[in-house]
Amino acid sequence: MNAPTPNSFRTQPDERGHFGQFGGRYVAETLMPLILDLEAEYGRAKADPAFQTEFDDLLEHYVGRPSPLYFAPRLTEALGGAQVWFKRDELNHTGAHKINNCIGQILLAIRMGKTRIIAETGAGQHGVATATVCARFGLPCVIYMGATDVARQAPNVFRMKLLGAEVIPVQAGARTLKDAMNEALRDWVANVHDTFYIIGTAAGPHPYPELVRDFQSVIGREARAQMLARTGRLPDVLVAAIGGGSNAIGLFHPFLDDPSVRMLGVEAAGHGLDKDHAASLAGGRPGILHGNKTYLLQDADGQIIEGHSISAGLDYPGIGPEHAWLKEVGRVDYTSVTDDEALDAFQLLCRTEGIIPALEPAHAIAEVQKLAPTLPKDTIILANLCGRGDKDIFTVADHLGVTL
Amino acid sequence: MSARLAAAFGKGHPALVCFVTAGDPTPDATPAILDALVAGGADVVELGMPFTDPMADGPAIQAANLRALGAGTTTAQILAIAAGFRARHPAVPLVLMGYANPMTIRGGDWFAAQASAAGVDGVICVDIPPEEDGELGPALRARGISLIRLATPTTDAARFPAVLDGSSGFLYYVSVAGITGKQSAALTSIETAVARFKQTTDLPIAVGFGVRTAEQAGPIARVADGVVVGSALVDLVAQHGADAAGPVRALVADLAQAVHSARSIAA
């Protein structure tokens, strides 16, 4: 389908929460009044300078923003083409971009008078970030995590518990992120009167995709200003990994109306697009799950197929609805890299720049590895280094055949 | 709206609405279980369409969904089960209940046409609120199939007209804010809610979520037009598998006796 090119790519969603045909509010009736309240409260918060001031203050003094914009000289040299730059969101407090969104959402929860926080988590990064802000603001916190992920992400489970959160292992389905999200929705529908659900990515029912994007857009706003200050120009290509897509939309959104800036979202191709993978745009079709219409991995009857990626943070069979729209209108290109390519890129960044990336941005780096040699040396590629790799060293060791 | 649904709520006594999941434990076993619902005295039959991610359901119906999908149940088989039911029971209303994605993946028009051809009277879609009615509502209404909406304890007076708009058949009152099969609501809160909704609508109101026994169903039937029982029946299917028809019929008969006679006893 060829959607008409809009005058601006930055005015979505519409008043009903739709990004073109995607997005929306596909939730049980019990949740609708709360979803509408949240939309209204977010509208008031956006118009309230005090809200923005508190958000900015916490990002500066608690999270450690702005994160650096870093030119990677040895990686650039090794790849022999375009300049490679990184937005260093792995240096944030808690080690990933997830905290930006959690700060924003907990401030909304407090504005709404909610006294209990729930969240889902896959790899545990969003769970840790949520537990962190709950500790900071003194609210009880329940994290739903698939039992499979609990077993393979033990350090993050312990971090969440240290931060005072209750971690509930979910035994349903494949016991991963999708099932954790189902269980969080079940909790929410039963505790809607006092509970705020901090969704971790730019997906779910409206207004979540919009508000998560807005909170994460600090990444792109900073990067745009930093790049202009350092080089006097905009980057030529942005690259970011995509699971649900919050780090990518956070980087991309402030650049969407800069026509010279090309954007590349990188999905997880797992064992390969013809085998098990988590590339919803490459291998899925539009459907409805977890409150929104978007591209989903599914069979002919609309039953959801489990995603697979070496990265637990990309291991989800859907994608945020704004990415589905940006794909259809052609503003952003989407590609994918395999587990093996991500592992290679992970090691390359360790050795060339002294940075251990998370396996999620390792997918973006793998795409940079392919792209940079094909471009002239005066071209600027900016990739989002959205998380650090401490959590992944056990997974990587396992794949490299190393026993720790 | 469906004449069969209207008749089911016009019998002069409250209606018993019974839910089981299609394909649980296998597609071949479902027709006999549906026949047992009718034989036991169910006035309306709800046939659940299994989904991989039943996020509004508690453990009992989650497990039923997984059993059905594990047995390879397809949408085509569910529609065939519905058509077979219609052929065997020409007068008993049949409602499909499930989640948006399996219902809309081939388009709302496709689903409405297939459901109509199978003799389905109504559709309940858990995760399409009035705000997203365009996905399915217009197609169902064009085929004369009732779109049955859910009202919940969080549905206030300001929102209720939106829930009613475009709905028909009956109103399904979810008596607890939560998932299926868990806790049950206090009778007084159900009575208050039903009375509140009755001020605005003439649709029959059936009350469900957490109703498991004749002892619970009877008192609810005194204050509502119908009572919905699901998880308790699904638990029997879990327990007895392909031999569930007998126990299911016995529980339904028990429930039907309590529901059908509720007002004559109470009055």
DSSP secondary structure of B132-157: GGGGTHHHHHHTT-EEPPEE-TT--T
Beta-carbon separation of B154 and A33 below 8 A:
yes
pLDDT greater than 80 at residue A309: yes
Q: Is B165 on the interface with A (CB under 8 A)?
A: no
Beta-carbon separation of A32 and B129 below 8 A:
yes
Residues A150-161, buried b or exposed e (16+ Cβ, 10 A)? bebbeebbebbe
Picking from A212, A246, A276, the residue at the C-terminal end of a domain is A212
pLDDT for A5 equals: 67
CB B73 within 8 A of CB B51: no
pLDDT for B267 equals: 44
Which residue of chain B comes nearest to A205, CA vs CA?
A: B127
Tokens 């008409």 found at:
A4
Task: Catalogue all structural domains in chain B, each as residue range(s) with its CATH number.
Answer: 3-266 (3.20.20.70)
Residue A3 placed within a domain: no
> By percentage, how much of chain B surpasses pLDDT 90?
90
> A16: which chain B residues are within 8 Å (Cβ-Cβ)?
131
DSSP B80-99: HHHHHHHHH-TTS-EEEEE-
| Residue A257 φ then ψ, to 5° | -95, 15
Beta-carbon separation of A301 and B131 below 8 A:
no
pLDDT for A1 equals: 47
Residue A12 placed within a domain: no
| E-assigned strand segments in A69-154 | 69-71, 83-87, 116-121, 141-146
Beta-carbon separation of B56 and A186 below 8 A:
yes
- Pairs of CB atoms within 8 A across A/B: 114
Euclidean distance between CA atoms B228 and B239, whole angstroms: 20
Euclidean distance between CA atoms A310 and B19, whole angstroms: 40
Euclidean distance between CA atoms B200 and A89, whole angstroms: 53
Across A151-164, average pLDDT: 93
> A298: which chain B residues are within 8 Å (Cβ-Cβ)?
101, 105
Strand order in A285-289's β-sheet?
A: A18-19, A22-26, A291-296, A285-289
Across A152-167, average pLDDT: 94
Q: Is A192 on the interface with B (CB under 8 A)?
A: yes
Beta-carbon separation of B150 and A34 below 8 A:
no
Q: Is B102 on the interface with A (CB under 8 A)?
A: yes
Picking from A194, A212, A230, the residue at the C-terminal end of a domain is A212
Segment (H or E) for B17: strand B15-21
Best CA proximity match to A135, nearest among A151, A152, A159: A159
Euclidean distance between CA atoms B38 and B90, whole angstroms: 11
Domain that holds residue A147: 28-58+98-212
Picking from A182, A212, A242, the residue at the C-terminal end of a domain is A212
Q: Is B239 on the interface with A (CB under 8 A)?
A: no
* Range with lowest mean pLDDT among A28-32, A105-109, A320-324: A28-32
Start-to-end Cα distance in chain A:
50
In degrees, to the nearest 5, what angle opens at C-alpha B225 toward C-alphas B219 and B231?
A: 65
> B176: which chain A residues are within 8 Å (Cβ-Cβ)?
190
- Token readout for B74 is 């397809």
Beta-carbon separation of A189 and B56 below 8 A:
yes
Best CA proximity match to A291, nearest among B132, B63, B49, B140: B132
Instruction: Indicate the number of domains in chain A.
Output: 2
pLDDT greater than 60 at residue A2: no
Which residue of chain B comes nearest to A293, CA vs CA?
A: B101
Across A58-74, average pLDDT: 98
pLDDT for A173 equals: 78
Using the 8-state DSSP alphabet, how is residue B206 labeled?
E
Euclidean distance between CA atoms B14 and B219, whole angstroms: 11
Beta-carbon separation of B102 and A303 below 8 A:
yes
Let me know whether A278 and A226 are in one domain. Answer: yes
Let me know whether A304 and A197 are in one domain. Answer: no
> A189: which chain B residues are within 8 Å (Cβ-Cβ)?
56, 177-179
> B62: which chain A residues are within 8 Å (Cβ-Cβ)?
172
Residue A18 placed within a domain: no
Let me know whether A280 and A238 are in one domain. Answer: yes
Q: What is the largest CA-CA distance in chain A?
A: 57
Euclidean distance between CA atoms A105 and A212, whole angstroms: 8
Beta-carbon separation of B100 and A26 below 8 A:
yes
pLDDT greater than 60 at residue A67: yes
Tokens 């809200």 found at:
A51
Peptide bond into A373 cis (omega under 30): no
Helical pair A359-371 and A339-353, crossing angle rounded to 10 deg: 90
Which residues does residue A384 pair with via DSSP β-bridges, in sequence order? A87
Q: Taking the CB of residue A229, how many other CB atoms lie within 10 A of it?
A: 9
Q: Is B192 on the interface with A (CB under 8 A)?
A: no
Residue A103 placed within a domain: yes
Let me know whether A248 and A363 are in one domain. Answer: yes
Euclidean distance between CA atoms A204 and A113, whole angstroms: 22
Low-confidence ranges of chain B (pLDDT < 70): 1, 182, 265-267
Q: Is B5 on the interface with A (CB under 8 A)?
A: no
Beta-carbon separation of A32 and B127 below 8 A:
no
Let me know whether A53 and A34 are in one domain. Answer: yes
Q: Is B152 on the interface with A (CB under 8 A)?
A: yes
For B92, B157, B187, the CA distances from B260, given in Å and listed in that order, are 16, 30, 18
Euclidean distance between CA atoms B16 and B134, whole angstroms: 30
Best CA proximity match to B152, nearest among A264, A32, A118: A32
Backbone CA torsion sign across A110, A112, A117, A119: negative
DSSP A162-200: HTT-EEEEE-STTSSHHHHHHHHHHHHHHSTTTEEE---
> B66: which chain A residues are within 8 Å (Cβ-Cβ)?
173
Residue A21 placed within a domain: no
Of residues A27, A185, A302, nearest to B102 (C-beta): A302
Residue A297 placed within a domain: yes
Of residues A173, A190, A301, nearest to B178 (C-beta): A190
Let me know whether A48 and A177 are in one domain. Answer: yes
Let me know whether A37 and A150 are in one domain. Answer: yes
Q: Give the 3-state secondary structure of residue A339.
A: helix
Of residues B53, B131, B174, nearest to A178 (C-beta): B53
Let me know whether A92 and A102 are in one domain. Answer: no
CATH number, domain with residue A54: 3.40.50.1100
**Full-model pTM:** 0.96
When scoring A37, A176, A177, A303 by the number of chain B Cβ atoms within 10 A, the one with the most, hence best to mutate, is A303
For A52, A66, A92, B24, the CA distances from A100, given in Å and listed in that order, are 13, 11, 9, 44
Residue A364 placed within a domain: yes
pLDDT for B1 equals: 57
pLDDT tens digits, one per residue of B133-182: 999 999 999 999 999 999 999 999 999 999 999 999 999 999 988 888 76
Let me know whether A170 and A234 are in one domain. Answer: no
Q: Count of alpha carbons within 13 Å of A185, Cβ hemisphere only?
A: 27
| Residue B51 φ then ψ, to 5° | -140, 145
Beta-carbon separation of B127 and A24 below 8 A:
no
- Token readout for A35 is 């979803």
Let me know whether A304 and A392 are in one domain. Answer: yes
Which residue of chain A comes nearest to B60, CA vs CA?
A: A172
- Token readout for A14 is 């519409």
For B188, counting Cβ atoms within 10 Å of its Cβ (0-12 exposed, 13-18 middle, 19+ buried), the class is: exposed
pLDDT tens digits, one per residue of A88-137: 999 999 999 999 999 999 999 999 999 999 999 988 999 999 999 999 99
Q: Is A282 on the interface with B (CB under 8 A)?
A: no
Residues of B assigned a catalytic role: 46, 57
Let me know whether A321 and A375 are in one domain. Answer: yes
Let me know whether A37 and A161 are in one domain. Answer: yes
Closest CA–CA distance from residue A297 to any residue of chain B (Å) = 12
Q: Which of residues 296-355 of A touch B (CB under 8 A)?
A: 296, 298, 300-304
